[in-house]
Amino acid sequence: MRLRREFSSLKQSTGFDFQHNHFQLFGLAPSFQLDSAKLELQYRALQAQVHPDKSAHLGETEQRVAMQQSTLVNEAYQTLKSPIRRARYLLLLNGVDTQEETNTAMPVDFLMAQMEWREAVAETQQARDLNALEQLAARMKVETRALEAQLAVKIDTEQDYAAAAGLVRKLRFMEKLAEEIDAAYDVIDM
Amino acid sequence: MALLQISEPDLSTAPHQHRLAVGIDLGTTNSLVATVRNGISVVLNDENGRAMLPSVVRYAADSSVTVGEAAQIEQSVDPTNTIISVKRFMGRGLKDVGDTSRLPYRFVDTDGMLQLRTVAGVKSPVEVSAEILKVLRMRAEAALGGELVGAVITVPAYFDDAQRQATKDAAKIAGLNVLRLLNEPTAAAIAYGLDNASEGVYAVYDLGGGTFDISILRLTRGVFEVLSANGDSALGGDDFDQRIHCWLLEKNDLSALNPQDTRLLLTQARAAKEQLTEHDRTRITAVLSSGELVDNVLTQDEFQSMSHNLIQRTLQPLRRALRDAKLSAADIKGVVMVGGATRMPQVQQAVGEFFGQIPLNNLDPDKVVALGAAIQANLLAGNRSGDEWLLLDVIPLSLGIETMGGLVEKIIPRNSTIPTARAQEFTTYKDGQTAMSIHVLQGERELVSDCRSLAKFELRGIPAMVAGAARIRVTFQVDADGLLNVSAREMGCGMEAAIVVKPSYGLSDAEITRMLQDSVQHAQDDMQARARQEQQTEANQLLEAVQHALVQDGELLDHQQRSRIEAQMTVLQGSLKTEDTLALKRAVNALNEATVSFAQARMDKSVAGVLTGKNISQLETK
């Protein structure tokens, strides 16, 4: 990977280590439960050092390096900030593939619930019922939080990565559902 | 000449370290340039004390170009060659413009960005914008007394890649080094934030002449973090003028006006809109070329009802921006109003009602973007001031690629903090396939036809393999200007695949080169004119200095020396009357040479004067 190679060749000159994983980058322990205030603080501190605006008056090379470093810091921050992405990344670090594209074996009751959710979203959209949609969004958020709480136990406490991967696949369904709710908002708002 | 003037050594000023940088608000209706002077951001005025340069460019048959107020005055006389609101055409095709019948231009329909046929030839919107930027650059260089290190150019937050690229190209043609393309609402936030030292979440509502932006920002100590941006890059004050224009047509039973009359009525419509900011009613009068008289009274109520849905069109992006930021109107601590169109009372009222608070109007809505851009330019140029801040902005529209069945697969979602990158792997679907075509799009819709095509590029030189064996990794990198760069690599054999990019609306490298050359040619003409003027000034100053010296210290010369100097003075006076710059330069040199010994003699006399009355020890300690 080209970017990666350029990254590693630069680490000595800048004290910025491209080999670090996202947690190391922000000086955080690799766990699902995370001090989000510290993450935010560290993110800003790092961007304050590497953001391209800091080297806009320098040469092309410095500017390109800054862009790459800043891009990586953004990527790492976005990954750790989002619970599903953070879980996926932690599993990857532990050599576990979440198989979101290949493993479609889902508990029947979960799939049934998903179908009901989607029908409900479609109905509110058709009826242009903003209140009903907001209620759906709130319920979905509660459901998502519950799955995330289970993830914390499976990853941090039990280190049961296979079970965690199953939860990530469920969260992926919830994420798609959230996208549909967003799209429904846009349709009702037209 | 220098030899004749004896100056105090301590008065010579050391070259200052301040790097000259400006912020430029390239607006639909007006453009401004600002800079930081003595730590304060100020808008630079023209020689008549005007801050705003109307974004109007007129092309004449002799290829001369008029920009600003002079061009604006003539827009009704020569509408076809006087381009106004060119920003609306940046990075846009003809079909994007919509109803062209109301516009007085001769459009050239090309595949990509539209072009305008003028009396001075076909012009791209990029070239027209470059003319505006050139005037601002020269204004800044004259005011600051030196060449600019660079400029921050502002763009609407909702500008897509093609519009941003077009803006950057225009700056390049105008001879500006672009330090950064900065989103207009973000620039306004900097101007406000640094003044008020505010913390919390703010909304910036920016309704300009032709564009609408809404940005939601979180301000914490020294960090401006854009949470979401939304908008409409084809909605602005111009549309309110159009509504009044249509109302006038209807009221007076007019149809199919000629370009002059269209322009005349639009100008009157704008004046009426501005009048209604302060008054309940206004009278609109105009005499059309047919002699027909237009005379109507427009009330605030009528104007509000005809523009109601334009304002509603700004509230939808506002709700989306809030949803994307996962916030509600109640979370917003303050609403900053930007853009001349926010002066309309109905806009203030609608925004106030939406957020349940009175919007902030402390800073001039016409100037706040340029002021903020200047502050950022000063920082980016490397002028260290006491406080430092960090700006984290986002890409306003998702980037994606075309997949099977005319669908778009999103690769970088909207509101991603920039710079950002995403890599995607592709494979071949035929045995022995050595090339691949990738279509890059921008927008939120699912269908390719509903999104904006940015570029089609081809990967060539893929090693022949069985279908599905080649792995091509394509990296999409969005830089801090919000501009997309694409690179590709074959992962199997590690070969870098060649990419041929065909921008859908942008200019090709060859076109940019041609425009740059045209611009450089003009610049050379300008330079020669300037060189001649400088030479003349120098000659006049020299003549004056020698004349003065002769009166003061003429007794130091013998008759022969004096007549030699006087002869050279006559030669110089003679060549001042001719157009020959070279001869003028020679005459200046000759007179300088003829006065060398005279200058030496004056120097000796002057030094002797200084030494008189001083003893040795005083001289040594000096």
Mean pLDDT, chain A, rounded, equals: 87
- CATH topology for the A108-189 domain: Monooxygenase (1.20.1280)
For residue B477, the one-letter residue type is: Q
Nearest to A57 among B382, B418, B475 (CB): B382
Contact yes or no for B59/B118 (Cβ under 8 A): yes
Residue B536: partners with Cβ closer than 8 Å, 6 or more residues away: B576, B584
Q: What CA–CA distance (Å, rounded) separates B542 from B88?
A: 51
Q: What CA–CA distance (Å, rounded) separates B56 from B591?
A: 47
Where residue A153 falls among pLDDT bands split at 50, 70, 90? Answer: very high
B170 CB within 8 Å of a chain A CB: no
Question: Quick one: average pLDDT of B206-221?
Answer: 92
pLDDT at B6: 41
Where residue B151 falls among pLDDT bands split at 50, 70, 90? Answer: very high
ipTM over 0.90: no
CB-count exposure of residue B619 (10 Å: 0-12, 13-18, 19+): exposed
Chain segment A16-33, per-residue pLDDT in tens: 677 789 999 999 999 999
Domain B238-306 sits in CATH 3.30.360.10: no
pLDDT at B509: 67
State the sign of the Cα–Cα–Cα–Cα dihedral B446, B448, B450, B451: positive
Residue B447, phi-psi category: left (phi > 0), alpha (psi -120 to 50), beta (remainder)? beta
CATH, range A2-81: 1.10.287.110
Distance from CA of A43 to the nearest CA of B (A): 11
B83 has a pLDDT exceeding 50: yes
CATH, range B511-611: 1.20.1270.10
Where residue A188 falls among pLDDT bands split at 50, 70, 90? Answer: confident
pLDDT at B603: 74
Mean pLDDT, chain B, rounded, equals: 86
DSSP assigned state of B250: H
Chain segment B22-33, per-residue pLDDT in tens: 999 999 999 999
- HSE (CB half, 13 Å, CA atoms) of B365? 20
Closest CA to B339 of B363, B319, B320, B316: B363
| Residue count (chain A) | 190
Residue boundaries of the structural domains of chain A: 2-81, 108-189
pLDDT at B76: 80
Of B25, B78, B393, B481, the catalytic one is B25
Of B184, B213, B239, B241, the catalytic one is B184
B154 C-beta neighbours (distance < 10 Å), count: 28
What is the helix, strand, coil percentage profile of chain A, to 5? Answer: 75, 0, 25
CB-count exposure of residue B620 (10 Å: 0-12, 13-18, 19+): exposed
Where residue B608 falls among pLDDT bands split at 50, 70, 90? Answer: low
Question: Quick one: average pLDDT of A41-49?
Answer: 93
Pick the CATH number of B21-237+307-392 from 3.30.420.40, 3.30.930.10, 1.20.120.1750, 3.30.565.10: 3.30.420.40
Nearest to A74 among B390, B420, B489 (CB): B420
pLDDT at B13: 38
B397-425 in b/e form (b: 16+ CB < 10 A) is bbbbbbeeeeebebbbbbbbbbbbbbbee
State whether residue B433 is helix, strand or coil: coil
Where residue B15 falls among pLDDT bands split at 50, 70, 90? Answer: very low
Q: What percentage of chain B has pLDDT greater than the value 90? A: 49
Question: Quick one: average pLDDT of B117-135?
Answer: 95
The DSSP bridge pattern shows strands B150-155 and B281-287 to be unpaired
Which has the minimum average pLDDT: A68-72, A117-121, B289-293? B289-293
Annotated catalytic residue B302: no
| More reliable by pLDDT, B362 or B196 | B362
Chain segment B560-590, per-residue pLDDT in tens: 888 889 999 999 988 888 777 788 888 888 8
Distance from CA of B356 to the nearest CA of A (A): 20
Q: What CA–CA distance (Å, rounded) separates B565 from B147?
A: 37
Tokens encoding B484: 């997309």
Where residue B427 falls among pLDDT bands split at 50, 70, 90? Answer: confident
pLDDT at B525: 66
| Angle between helix A130-152 and A108-127 (nearest 10) | 150
Residue with tokens 């200084």: B610
Which stretches of A82-157 are DSSP H helices?
83-93, 108-127, 130-152
Residue ranges, comma separated, of all CATH 3.90.640.10 domains in chain B are 238-306
Pick the CATH number of B399-507 from 1.20.1440.130, 2.60.34.10, 1.20.120.10, 1.10.630.10: 2.60.34.10
Where residue B469 falls among pLDDT bands split at 50, 70, 90? Answer: confident
B339 C-beta neighbours (distance < 10 Å), count: 30
| More reliable by pLDDT, B446 or A159 | A159
Question: Quick one: average pLDDT of B364-371?
Answer: 95
Distance from CA of B186 to the nearest CA of A (A): 14
Annotated catalytic residue B555: no
Residue ranges, comma separated, of all CATH 1.20.1270.10 domains in chain B are 511-611
Q: What CA–CA distance (Å, rounded) separates A82 from A84?
A: 6
Chain segment B64-78, per-residue pLDDT in tens: 899 999 999 888 888
Annotated catalytic residue B25: yes
A5 has a pLDDT exceeding 60: no
Of B161, B206, B213, B241, the catalytic one is B206
Annotated catalytic residue B87: yes
Contact A57 B390 (CB under 8 A): no
For A:44-63, CB contacts with B below 8 A are: 44, 47-48, 51-53, 56-58
Element (DSSP H or E) covering residue B70:
helix B69-73
Contact B420 A75 (CB under 8 A): yes
B401 has a pLDDT exceeding 80: yes
B5 has a pLDDT exceeding 60: no
Which has the minimum average pLDDT: A125-129, B145-149, B355-359, B579-583? B579-583
Where residue B216 falls among pLDDT bands split at 50, 70, 90? Answer: very high
Chain segment B178-213, per-residue pLDDT in tens: 999 999 999 999 998 765 567 899 999 999 998 999
Contact B421 A75 (CB under 8 A): yes
Chain segment B529-566, per-residue pLDDT in tens: 767 777 887 888 888 888 888 888 888 888 888 888 99
A162 CB within 8 Å of a chain B CB: no
